[in-house]
Amino acid sequence: MKKDSEIRVRMAPSPTGFFHLGSARTALYNWLFARHNQGKFILRVEDTDVQRSSKEMIQTILDGLGWLGLNWDEGPYFQSERLAIYKKYVQQLIDKGYAYYCYCRPEDLAREREAALKNKQSWKYDRRCLNLTPEQKKEKERANHPKAVRFLVPDHPVVFYDLIHKEIKRDFADIEDFIILRQNGIPTYNLACAVDDYEMGITHVIRAVEHITNTPKQILLYEALNFSKPEFAHLPLILGEDRKKLSKRHGAVSLMAYKEKGFIPEAMVNFLALLGWSPGNDKEIMSIKEIIQRFSLKRINPANAIFDIQKLEWMNGQYIYRMSDGELLESLKPFLIKFKFITPAELDKKREWILRVCGAIKKRLKVLADIDKAGRYFFVEDFEYEPRALEKHLHKETIEIVKEFSRIMETITDFDGAHIEESLRGFVKEKNIPARNLIHPLRVFTTGKEGGPGLFLTLELIGKERCLKRIKKIIKNYEEKNG
RNA sequence: GGCCCCAUCGUCUAGCGGUUAGGACAUCACUCUUUCAAGGUGGAGACACGGGUUCGAUUCCCGUUGGGGCCGCCA
């Protein structure tokens, strides 16, 4: 089933919060490592916190991985379904004297801990339950007192080699006898994680540095349980602009929020891959195949990285720009429908036309949702006229010129870019005015904007009737207001 | 308060003892263009500090400072 040399990694998210950029990158690096080494990528949901875990969060994890294309080879396993396995190992630890029952009340300990921290004192469990006399223990048992299980931390330092951070030491005095089994019979993170990583044959534990203080605890469990140890690699964190760990207050909560804004999954993957890792050359836009080929843990930068959305947007724009018109249309469809630019039924009928619109605005989109502002006027009539643009180009003189030219427009039978340009150039030559004096007002009258794709193509795509209607309407409005 | 991790332009990074410290985003010029964008060209912009080691440190070691993380019967 499992080859001895096979690389096996896992993504082990907890469904207590959104699947965000940080989790996504951890997943990506695990996935890249597995794919690079022809290994296995396993999905394991760490839902041992019953109160806070939810179906919704599990769904965001699945959605996020799916959106990024990070397919898994095994799982999803759910820790909540593996309780018997953990209990077996906990019992083993108790039997061998590596763990003991703790009858303390969580509230009492929490109070003590808070008080200590408030006084800037460090606090560690004092093993009071380990030191209970046999009589005291019997009494607790007789009273059916709730009990948790604590791991008895041995008095020798823990040293391990991290693939990114090199050697890491931790003194036993700095590790308290941590709980491995709660009063409710459900194991805690460290126990479940260590047991599962062993049981699932994980060869490389790749996770965020916030777990680096857990690793010595898990190593102690490995040793007590006589498990062979995996390799460890602790990834740097992704920080918000405030240099703090990414969290809800940084706006983009779920990874799926980026999908909704119109980021392309390929761009997201490319960007995330480069946030903390570099291929060693100057290439930034890379296909997933290329990233897999070049990926290595050795080239991960140990320093935390600040998330820069501007670079993500740039990269996304690059991906959009490099798409074919057909690909762009596919990606854009949900947005066109969401913004009510078009009905699903029209999508097919107007396909050729939409493809041309896609080609026209491709260079102008950073995220797909930009179509709302940048391309609205192609699709619907309720677009906005930019005040600045009107101020600049909506005047008596320009109106006269546009009026005159629109009469010529009406006579153009083949209303395409080339013909529009031809008649416009002829018109301005005859009038002896610079082309821009007509081009700019014309654009503003028909699109409400100062910028956009080439005017002649724009007019063609909007179509003769709609162009003339818009021109009439804006002029009428102006004249009503200004006598 | 304790422990741990980290340190090159504003941001992401290359560098693995000798480089005019390279690239990308952002920024600023110029250019192309009917406009905006995209593109092209160029500019400004960094080795946190102090000690060592060395003929020579951005690079190796130590310390300081700064930043981050953890200290839950959360993960």
Per-residue pLDDT of chain A (483 residues; tens, 9 = 90+): 455 689 999 999 999 999 999 999 999 999 999 999 999 999 999 999 999 999 999 999 999 999 999 999 998 999 999 999 999 999 999 999 999 999 999 999 999 999 888 888 889 999 999 999 999 999 999 999 999 999 999 999 999 999 999 999 999 999 999 999 999 999 999 999 999 999 999 999 999 999 999 999 999 999 999 999 999 999 999 999 888 888 766 655 789 999 999 999 999 999 999 999 999 999 999 999 999 999 999 999 999 999 999 999 999 999 999 999 999 999 999 999 999 999 999 999 999 999 999 999 999 999 999 999 999 999 999 999 999 999 989 988 999 999 999 999 999 999 999 999 999 999 999 999 999 999 999 999 999 999 999 999 999 999 999 999 999 999 999 888 886
Q: Which residue has the tokens 């990070």?
A: A70
CB A435 within 8 A of CB A428: yes
The yes-or-no answer on residue A169 being catalytic is no
Q: Give the CATH number, domain containing residue A456.
A: 1.10.10.350
The answer as to whether A5 is a domain residue is: yes
- Name A residues 322-361 whose Cβ lies under 7 Å from strand B: none
Q: Is residue A194 part of a domain?
A: no
In a domain, A214, yes or no: no
What angle separates helix A21-36 from helix A55-68, to the nearest 10 degrees? Answer: 50
In a domain, A435, yes or no: yes
Domain identity same for A426 and A368? no
Of the residues A88, A138, A248, A429, which is catalytic? Answer: A248
Q: Based on the fold, state whether residues A246 and A294 are members of the same structural domain.
A: yes
Cα distance between the two ends of chain A: 86
Q: Which two tokens stand for residue A157?
A: 């330092």
- Which 360-419 positions of A have CB less than 7 A from strand B? 363-364
Q: Do A292 and A338 have their domain in common?
A: no
Is A331 within 8 Å of A371 (Cβ atoms)? no
The per-residue pLDDT for A253 is 74
A184 closest-nt by C1' vs CA: B73
A299 touches strand B (CB under 7 A): yes
**CA distance linking residue A276 with residue A304, whole number of Å:** 8
Choose among A237, A240, A188, A239: nearest CA to A83: A188
If asked whether residues A175 and A88 sit together in one domain, one would say yes
For residue A312, give the nucleotide whose C1' atom is nearest its CA: B25
Q: Which of A259, A285, A312 is the last residue of a domain?
A: A312
Residue A443 contacts strand B, CB under 7 A: yes
**CA A233 / C1′ B8 distance in Å:** 24
Could you tell me which of A190, A188, A200, A185 has the C-alpha nearest to residue A220? A190
Q: Domain check: are A300 and A266 in the same one?
A: yes
In whole angstroms, B36 C1' to A11 CA is: 44
User: Is A186 a domain residue?
Assistant: no
Of A178, A233, A226, the residue nearest A10 (C-alpha): A233
Residue of least CA–C1' distance to B3: A174
pLDDT score recorded for residue A252:
54
**Whether A118 CB is under 7 Å from strand B:** no
| pLDDT at residue A204, as a whole number | 98
Strand B proximal residues, A:240-269, Cβ < 7 Å? 243-245
Is A306 within 8 Å of A241 (Cβ atoms)? yes
**ipTM of this complex:** 0.96
Q: Does any strand B atom come closer than 7 Å to the Cβ of A454?
A: yes
Q: Rounded distance, CA A415 to CA A183, Å?
A: 78
Domain count, chain A: 4
Q: Identify whether residues A341 and A424 lie together within a single domain.
A: no
Chosen domain end from A146, A181, A216: A181
| Cβ contact A430 with chain B strand, < 7 A | no
Instruction: Tell me how far CA of residue A11 lies from CA of A32, A145, A196, A232, in angstroms.
Output: 12, 37, 12, 13
Q: How far: A285 CA to B70 C1' (Å)?
A: 35
Is the CB of A237 within 7 Å of strand B? Answer: yes
Same domain as A474, residue A423: yes
A88 and A167 part of one domain:
yes
Identify the pLDDT of residue A143: 94
Q: CB of A185 under 7 A from strand B?
A: no
**Strand B nucleotides below 7 A of a protein CB?**
1-8, 10-15, 22-26, 34-39, 67-75
A363/A451 same-domain check: no
Clarify whether residues A407 and A453 are in a common domain.
yes
CB A179 under 7 Å to nucleic chain B: yes
Nucleotide with minimal C1' distance from the CA of A216 is B4
Domain region containing A71: 1-75+236-312
CATH assignment at residue A32 = 3.40.50.620
Domain annotation covers residue A200: no
Contact flag, residue A196 CB and nucleic strand B, below 7 A = no
Q: Is the CB of A476 under 7 A from strand B?
A: no
pLDDT at res. A246: 82
Asked if A17 CB < 7 A from strand B, the reply is no
Please give the Cα distance from A244 to A274 (Å, whole number): 20
Give helix A464-481 / helix A455-462 axis angle, nearest 10°.
100
Is residue A261 domain-resident? yes
Residue A402, in any domain of the structure: yes
Instruction: State which of A286, A312, A338 marks the end of a domain.
Output: A312
Residue nearest to nucleotide B35 (CA to C1'): A451
Cross-sheet strand order for the sheet of A204-208: A166-170, A158-162, A231-235, A204-208
User: Which CATH number do you get for residue A173?
Assistant: 3.90.800.10
Judgement on whether residues A368 and A391 belong to the same structural domain of the protein: no
Please state the φ and ψ torsions of residue A436, each to the nearest 5 degrees. -60, -30
Residues A64 and A102 placed together within one structural domain of the fold: no
